[in-house]
Amino acid sequence: MIEEDYVSFETARLLKEKGFNELCSKYYILYYGGGYCLVNRGTAAHDSNCIDVPTIQMVMKWLREIYKLHITVYSCSQESWAYRITKPHQKLEDGAYAGDYASYEETCEAAIKYCLENLI
The answer, yes or no, to whether residue 92 has pLDDT greater than 60, is no
The answer, yes or no, to whether residue 32 has pLDDT greater than 90, is no
pLDDT at 94: 59
Structural domain spans, the chain: 9-119
Distance CA 21, CA 61 (A): 13
Burial (0-12, 13-18, 19+ Cβ within 10 Å), 46: middle
pLDDT at 105: 94
pLDDT at 30: 83
Question: How far does Cα 116 stand from its chain's mean position?
Answer: 9
81 half-sphere exposure, CB direction, 13 A CA radius: 16
pLDDT tens for each residue of 97-109:
777 899 999 999 9
Question: How far does Cα 47 stand from its chain's mean position?
Answer: 22
CA angle 112, 118, 86 (to 5 degrees): 65
Helices marked H in 3-114: 9-17, 56-67, 104-114
Average pLDDT, stretch 35-45?
Answer: 79
* Global pTM value: 0.86
